[in-house]
Amino acid sequence: MNAFTPSLSDTGDRPQKNNRSKSRFPRMPLVMGLGLIGFTFAAIVFGMKTGIGTMINVYGQPAAIRDIVITGAHDTEITITDAQSGEIIRHFAPTEGGFVRGSLRALSRMRLVAEQPETLPYRLIRWENGSVSLSDTATGERLYLNAFGPDNAAAYAELLASRGNEKP
């Protein structure tokens, strides 16, 4: 062949190779994906058998629930009423109920940011293990009041116990 004569490979008329090898899916991502699925399955089985890495509901089921409506501002008198019956549960003068005022101020702020009405009730829950929580039915926020100490949780437990037949 002459140096100036184009060969078959220079003109693009090459003989075609087997296209099967070009369109084959790469093995490495497939093997890694199957390995990840296997690891996930093994971690789930390990967690279920040993309890390590799993979340446990330490609160149990609700023992008492009461929906309450709070009227008033943080610097004025606060009135807490039962949402179902309309019964007045408690009045707090401007100098009373420091923890109740503070926690309600935080929840009211969250309602303001979420643009939810102030008239929706809050939900007090005493759990089977004795813990007390305050939930906002408008935003879904929940405060576990025992985290703030037993005296502060007792302030809300009194609101649950004021039904007459329940003890804090």
**Are residues 75 and 19 part of one domain?**
no
Q: Which two tokens stand for residue 107?
A: 């929840």
pLDDT, one tens digit per residue, over 57-81 is 677 788 888 888 888 766 778 888 8
139 with 69, same domain? yes
Task: Give the pLDDT confidence score for residue 167 in this predicted structure.
Answer: 42
Range of the domain at 122: 62-161
The answer to whether residues 75 and 118 belong to one domain is yes
Residue 146's contacts (CB-CB under 8 Å, 6 or more residues apart) are 130, 131, 132, 153
**110-144 in b/e burial notation, b at 16+ Cβ within 10 A?**
ebeeeeeeeeebbbbbbbeeebbbbbbebbeeebe
Residue 82 is predicted with a pLDDT of 87
Based on the fold, state whether residues 76 and 152 are members of the same structural domain: yes
Is there a single domain that holds both residue 40 and residue 86? no
How many domains does the structure of the chain reveal?
Answer: 2
pLDDT digits (tens, 9 = 90+) for 110-119: 888 888 887 7
Q: Is residue 141 part of a domain?
A: yes
Q: Do the domain assignments include residue 166? A: no
Please indicate, yes or no, if residue 45 is contained in any of the structural domains. yes
Give pLDDT, residue 118: 78
Asked if residue 3 is part of any domain, the answer here is no
Domain-embedded: residue 168: no
Predicted pLDDT at 40? 96
Residue 2 domain flag = no
pLDDT score, position 5: 57
Q: What is the pLDDT of residue 75?
A: 73
Residues 88 and 15 in one domain: no
- Asked if residue 125 and residue 154 are part of one domain, the reply reads yes
pLDDT beneath 70, residues of the chain? 1-22, 57, 73-74, 162-168
Does residue 57 lie within any of the structural domains? no
Task: Please give the single-letter amino acid code of residue 62.
Answer: P
Single-letter amino acid code for the residue at 35? G
Asked if residue 104 and residue 74 are part of one domain, the reply reads yes
Contact, 109 vs 120, CB < 8 A? no
- pLDDT of res. 165: 43
